[in-house]
Structure 1
Amino acid sequence: MPEALWTAQEIADATGGQVAGDFSVTGISIDTRTVEPGDLFVPLVGARDGHDFVWQAVASGATGVLAAKPVGVPAVMVEDTFKALEALGVAARERAPQCKRGAVTGSVGKTSVTRAVEAGLRLAGKAHASVKSYNNHIGVPLTLARMPRDTERAVFEVGMNHADEITPLSQFVRPHAVAITTVGPVHLENFENEEGVARAKAEIFAGLEPGGIAVLNADNPWFELLSAEAAKVGALVWSFGEAEGATARLTGFSVEGEGATVSVELRGEALRFPIRQTGVHWGPNSLCVLLMLEALDVPRETALAALAAFAPIEGRGAEKTIRIDGGAFTLVDESYNANPVSMQAALKTLGAREVAGRRVVALTDMLELGESSDAFHAELAGPIARANVDVVFLAGVHMKSLWEALPPTRRGGYAEVTEKLTTQLAEAIRPGDVVMVKGSNGSRAGVLAGALAALDLGEQG
């Protein structure tokens, strides 16, 4: 039997609630689809009232409920379930004073970097981390509330698409170390300019513990601004990138088979280490991970072992060999998200790799880019040409701008609706091709990746 995460009385003490039936829980869920036996179910009130689904949660094994209405099952009664969840998160942090906490944000790469940091923390001892991309006003308190009392190290992903979102999340986590992977033109529809995005990312410093460490991208145009904001809270800045003077300076990145070797000068010491990633952005990303793990007291040998074993995440660069008539092609699945920065990095990576057949890309709209969206899409024609991409398939209203900017020799197919591109894309693939699928999650790039994966004769047989 797993150790109790919370008892009913502990939940009541943390939230100011009243125990209505004794119980203990080993996990927490806010969604009946993810409830596991032993969970506390927290019914939130939004477009629908989560209290309407308590019976489903109990049927799935929930042993208690954090409720604002009578529910007829063991519960802790509170006035507001969301505020109670926040209070439970704060209580979880305060009951684990031994825990070193890290937080990661950035316009690109925050989920992958968080996952890689998590891998190092788990190798080093009792660790806790965000699941999926639980990085918003609900996901961060939920992740905190799920943190076991004996956790030694934890890492939290923190996201935003408006100003003033990250400040309260950072203040919940109270991190000892934070990382901003990079700042780029993302969520621009909610900001006047890119500086606004940078200042919103700098909110990550708001909750930094005294004497905390800020890990920043020395190659980013906003490095000086971010460093100055970090200095205002007394943070120690550690930097990564190719820039002279970076704490961890990237001196080489060479792709070898299904991985790469990273060369770095770390505080004057030359290091080379392997990673299981081929994307060029994993040069700086791996240095960000290395510094974050150091800041969270993970031994370097453990950090390097974690990086050597960390595999690409599905939808974020994971590769798959798809067997078709006459041979096979390689699917590079980058379908989880996209913006101008990550698009250019992914295209540069594709251009750098050896291919037996053609380089093919299937792209869907990048979202939340504001008034300049069509221009950002059209500008991808340059990186596509530099990557020597042979055929381009595009879906979405904004991708029409890129379609018009491409020479006819590169045009493979266009559809305004993603689902209408699947057939012509699938029919065009040949053995030996390397096919990269990338786009924003909201523009359904995953549909294209799924259609290509479904061609696998091995899976069908």
Structure 2
Amino acid sequence: MTTLWKSSAIAEAIGGHASVDFEVHGVAFDSREIGPGDLFFALKGEQSDGHLYVDDIYAAGGAGAVVSQPVDGPHILVSDTTKALNDLAIASRARTDAKIIGVTGSVGKTGTKEALFAALNRASMGKSHRSVKSYNNHVGVPLSLSRMPAECQYGIFEMGMNHAGELSQLTRLVRPDVAIITAIAPAHIGHFSGVEAIADAKAEIFQGLTHQGTAVIPRDSDYFQRLRKAALRCTKKIVTFGFDAQADVRAIDVVPAQGGGSLVTARFSDDGEGDRSLCFTVAEPGKHWVSNALAILAAVRAVGGDLAAAGLALAELQGLDGRGRRHQIELKNGGRTLLIDESYNANPVSMKATLAQLARENCGGKKIVILGAMGELGDKAQAYHEALVEDIITSGAQAVILVGDEMAHTQARLEQLSSEKLDHSLKISHVAGSSEALAAVAGEISDEDILLIKGSNYLGLSKVVSALVSGEF
């Protein structure tokens, strides 16, 4: 295996003392993720202490640990392991010549990060790196940086936030050459005075841009001018994307692709070689994915990547678990149901986009929806949950299972309007949690149905997905 770090370089970067010389192939702070040759950071949190698991990581083949107290086994001793993780991230960023891209946004950042990685990794022949899962916070970002090989050509890092000031810190670690904002939406609005404040917090990503770095922002956004002004304080290079005629990377034609997804023709503004166009397929369905694809192409062009290879990668995308992955469920009666897994997260904008896509889906059976409550909406929660009703009605759903306390607002409004606006019956139920949702839907699904599952992650609707996919229902 290729050496990622030597203990001497780690010790120098984090100001620690290595007990012995050793080499590591990976980095982790979760003892359950440690594999042979990995480095373990024993972080201390409010409810856990990584030092309690040091023996476990050695048993799993870990090469060494970063600790703040001596242990039996190869280690590097520091006074503060959390600071040490940040210091190693800084050293990792400093030692690479890779083009670095940062991604944030209220919706679409994980999917965009994964698709961007696929696009750049295809052309770089495996020399691209990205943050895995949704490691986008104050520990996930430095961990992802620390895992970046020195010789990679591209690094793609997702950055998230739910309070002002958080992105400012993260982006100064990442120091992106290109910073993308996918979209602005009222996610986590319970922590903000309004969506304008969310836009300002997302725009903090530009504060870490390298000299002559590029800001990539959505031209269609209601907050475009606000984002543009924030970007101009940090860079003169701004690239816009979207469907607007003034966007630098814009969709000029979008038609449904065979088998789902979209066939897109995008035009790039004059980059010195005249306007250019690219026709490509986005495998993932929905207008929001076309927008994500345009942001990806803008970033690829900004780092001098291969646009044709990016287009091919977009055509081969597969949905992520919890973010659009599609499963064919085998029913006990021999039939099959299509399950669309959007169980990882939900906010007003992503709910609207997902239900709009469901409206475009064709099926021989029923459309069934399990919708979980949206978290962190503060005093606007009732209004946003009631607003879901119009989108549910236009989705064509014939059975709706609403999950969580906040969905009582949706239920009441839906029962009132469905009888007025629908010419077919709509079965509506409201349950407390994921286990009740599974019981409710198990008796509802039948051959050729489409089942959409979407909600905030805290509700655990992924357990419903797992049970249905595994046949345990």
Q: 2:261 aligns with which of 259, 262, 268?
A: 259
Percent same amino acid among aligned pairs?
Answer: 38
Alignment deviations for residues 194-232 of structure 1 (CA, whole Å, 9 cap, x no partner):
111110000001110111111111111111100111011
Aligned to 1:84: 84
Looking at structure 2, the residues matched to 454 and 36 of structure 1 have their Cα atoms a distance apart, in angstroms, of 27
User: Cα offset for 1:326?
Assistant: 4.9
Looking at structure 1, the residues matched to 393 and 460 of structure 2 have their Cα atoms a distance apart, in angstroms, of 25
Aligned to 1:15: 14
Task: Mark the runs of 5 or more structure 1 residues left unpaired by the alignment.
Answer: none
Structure 1 contact 367–443 (Cα < 8 Å) conserved: no
Looking at structure 2, the residues matched to 205 and 63 of structure 1 have their Cα atoms a distance apart, in angstroms, of 37
Alignment deviations for residues 15-36 of structure 1 (CA, whole Å, 9 cap, x no partner):
1111212211111111110001
Aligned to 1:112: 111
3-state secondary structure, aligned to 1:284? helix
Looking at structure 2, the residues matched to 376 and 401 of structure 1 have their Cα atoms a distance apart, in angstroms, of 9
Looking at structure 1, the residues matched to 170 and 446 of structure 2 have their Cα atoms a distance apart, in angstroms, of 47
Is residue 292 of structure 2 the alignment partner of residue 285 of structure 1? yes
Give aligned pairs, total.
455
Structure 2 contact 282–290 (Cα < 8 Å) conserved: no
Is residue 412 of structure 2 the alignment partner of residue 404 of structure 1? yes
Structure 2 contact 214–238 (Cα < 8 Å) conserved: yes
Looking at structure 1, the residues matched to 390 and 247 of structure 2 have their Cα atoms a distance apart, in angstroms, of 29
Looking at structure 2, the residues matched to 44 and 389 of structure 1 have their Cα atoms a distance apart, in angstroms, of 46
Structure 2 contact 325–342 (Cα < 8 Å) conserved: yes
Looking at structure 2, the residues matched to 447 and 149 of structure 1 have their Cα atoms a distance apart, in angstroms, of 38
Alignment deviations for residues 336-385 of structure 1 (CA, whole Å, 9 cap, x no partner):
11100000000010101222112211111111111111211111111112
Q: 1:337 aligns with which of 345, 364, 369?
A: 345
3-state secondary structure, aligned to 1:380? helix
User: Cα offset for 1:258?
Assistant: 3.4
Structure 2 contact 370–437 (Cα < 8 Å) conserved: no
Structure 1 contact 330–432 (Cα < 8 Å) conserved: yes
3-state secondary structure, aligned to 2:443? helix
Looking at structure 2, the residues matched to 32 and 122 of structure 1 have their Cα atoms a distance apart, in angstroms, of 28
Is residue 311 of structure 2 the alignment partner of residue 304 of structure 1? yes
Aligned to 1:385: 393
The residue type paired with residue 86 of structure 1 is N
Structure 2 contact 41–66 (Cα < 8 Å) conserved: yes
3-state secondary structure, aligned to 1:290? helix
Structure 2 contact 209–235 (Cα < 8 Å) conserved: no
Q: 1:420 aligns with which of 431, 436, 445?
A: 436
Q: 1:275 aligns with which of 282, 285, 288?
A: 282
The residue type paired with residue 251 of structure 1 is I
Which structure 2 residues correspond to residues 20-59 of structure 1 after superposition, within 5 A? 20-46=19-45, 47-59=47-59
Looking at structure 1, the residues matched to 24 and 223 of structure 2 have their Cα atoms a distance apart, in angstroms, of 44
Aligned to 2:422: none
The two structures have a TM-score, normalised by structure 1, of: 0.96
Aligned to 2:138: 137
Q: Stretches of 4+ moved more than 4 A in 1?
A: none
Structure 1 contact 280–348 (Cα < 8 Å) conserved: no
Task: Mark the runs of 5 or more structure 2 residues left unpaired by the alignment.
Answer: 270-274, 420-424
User: Cα offset for 1:272?
Assistant: 2.1
Aligned to 2:223: 222
Bigger mean CA offset, 61-70 vs 291-300: 291-300
Aligned to 1:240: 241
User: Cα offset for 1:40?
Assistant: 0.8
The residue type paired with residue 80 of structure 1 is D
User: Cα offset for 1:183?
Assistant: 0.5
Is residue 75 of structure 2 the alignment partner of residue 75 of structure 1? yes
Looking at structure 2, the residues matched to 261 and 315 of structure 1 have their Cα atoms a distance apart, in angstroms, of 24
Task: Mark the CA change 1:235 to 1:59 in structure 2 (over 3 Å): closer, same or farther.
Answer: farther
Structure 1 contact 413–421 (Cα < 8 Å) conserved: no
The residue type paired with residue 310 of structure 1 is L
Task: Mark the CA change 1:454 to 1:222 in structure 2 (over 3 Å): closer, same or farther.
Answer: same
State the superposition RMSD in angstroms: 1.4
Looking at structure 1, the residues matched to 136 and 453 of structure 2 have their Cα atoms a distance apart, in angstroms, of 24
3-state secondary structure, aligned to 1:230? helix
Alignment deviations for residues 270-298 of structure 1 (CA, whole Å, 9 cap, x no partner):
43211211122111111111111112221
Looking at structure 1, the residues matched to 327 and 72 of structure 2 have their Cα atoms a distance apart, in angstroms, of 49
Looking at structure 2, the residues matched to 251 and 401 of structure 1 have their Cα atoms a distance apart, in angstroms, of 40
User: Cα offset for 1:314?
Assistant: 1.4
Looking at structure 2, the residues matched to 110 and 123 of structure 1 have their Cα atoms a distance apart, in angstroms, of 20
3-state secondary structure, aligned to 1:94? helix
3-state secondary structure, aligned to 1:354? coil
The residue type paired with residue 142 of structure 1 is L
